[in-house]
Amino acid sequence: MSAVSEFKRSLLRWSQRFEEIVWLEGNGYPDAYGSFDAILAVGAYTAIRTSYYEAFEKLKKYRSESRDWLFGYLSYDLKNDIEELSSRNPDGLDFPELFFFQPKKIIRLRGNQVDFLYLEELADETEKDFHTIVSDSASGAPDQASLDIRIRMRIFKDEYFRKVQDMLAHIQRGDIYEANFCQEFYAEEAKIDTLRTFEKLNDISKAPFSAYLKAGNHFLLSVSPERYLKKMGTKIISQPIKGTARRSQNVMEDRVLKNSLAQDPKERAENIMIVDLVRNDLSKSAKKSSVKVEVLAKVYTFKQVHQMISTITAKVESNKDPIEMIRETFPMGSMTGAPKISAMKIIEELESFKRSLYSGSVGYFTPEGDFDFNVIIRSILYNAKKEYVSFSVGSAITALANPEKEYEECLVKAKAMREVLEGR
């Protein structure tokens, strides 16, 4: 293991003493818009936890008052604040629908450089903390995880097929063109070592938008390959994913799988539909005629899967409020469908669980108003107090969808999370 990798592991272990943690890691994946290799924020100086009701106005006020770095998450059900929708499906996780905190301590890694961005009154602790992190005695070993976890499915295969057929009927009637239909896998009375579980999941996935979050008894372990939205000065970037193919250990077969995905008319149609939706969303915030598709339906390779990704950018006015940019584009098009509001209503009607953080986003705001947020997919959610662990997967349903293939795609996406939790 390299010195940088070992430092990252020690840093994460050191962080476990805090009640609030956000760790964001790129895993060395090339990112033209990346600002760092990894960043850790710990310890809440101030924090906001709220339901969806007026959540964005509360966040806007909180950010204007703190004028500092903020780390946290946006749950999928903030849609209810934006579009006056509702969520009545079962929720085993019981996460606040919005959570952000102003960290006491931030540690940022870029190459071999480590920056300590501490509150002024804690600046004299940087040297002590650095030595604590790098010392073997301080890193400590995480608790032993229970491997006696039995994953259950919220719906079974036959019911999944029926619900997809219902969604196809909506498409045939013209209610929607596309919708992302998801299902939950869960376990009750589950005790997991969140850090060790995240390390295992991250080691086998090496995703570019991985995240570990702790907010008291609530945990997110995410190996997301997808960026929702980033702001750099007056430029905003969205990189939606639509189109997935499994990997193969056979080099020739793996190449065929990648090329087949690139040329698949259904997968390209799905991706292009979402690109159009994202372009429309960005245009609400963007300067006139500034929305551009920089990359269309390009296939990228990750450790577990091949993914089709597009990159859409736009220019915004320098005085545009960053919270408004998120409100105008949330939830992300890749996890909803088109038209967006109709798709969200049908999703709520047909899905059998409340998405909570799944399909939401975790990330940060800088003091200057820049931000970067991922899409919470390929993620494990855990309520330690309730001993409830959950992960969800989904796929885009269009008129060309084959229920059997969509079901298989869901199983491919679920594979790593299930293996890690069940200790296989």
Residues recognised as catalytic: 226, 242
What's the CA gap between 135 and 133, in Å, rounded?
6
What does the block give as tokens for 368? 């200057």
What's the CA gap between 312 and 290, in Å, rounded?
10
Give whole-number Cα distances, 243 to 81, 148, 258, in Å. Answer: 29, 34, 11
What does the block give as tokens for 101? 């905190």
- With the C-alpha atoms ordered 81, 278, 415, 170, is the resulting torsion angle positive or negative? positive
Q: How far is CA 336 from its chain centroid?
A: 14
H or E element that contains 60:
helix 55-66
Q: Are 100 and 71 in contact (CB under 8 A)?
A: yes
Give the HSE-up count for residue 4: Cα atoms under 13 Å, Cβ half-sphere: 13
Packed helices 403-422 and 194-205: angle between N→C axes, nearest 10 degrees: 130
What's the CA gap between 214 and 109, in Å, rounded?
20
Q: Are 36 and 60 in contact (CB under 8 A)?
A: no
Packed helices 340-350 and 157-173: angle between N→C axes, nearest 10 degrees: 150
Give whole-number Cα distances, 355 to 78, 87, 351, 392, 400, in Å. Answer: 11, 9, 9, 8, 25
Which positions ≥6 away from 325 have C-beta within 8 Å?
A: 229, 231, 236, 285, 316
What's the CA gap between 14 and 297, in Å, rounded?
40
What's the CA gap between 331 and 341, in Å, rounded?
10
Three-state DSSP at 116 gives strand
What does the block give as tokens for 60? 């806007």
The size of the chain, in residues, is 424
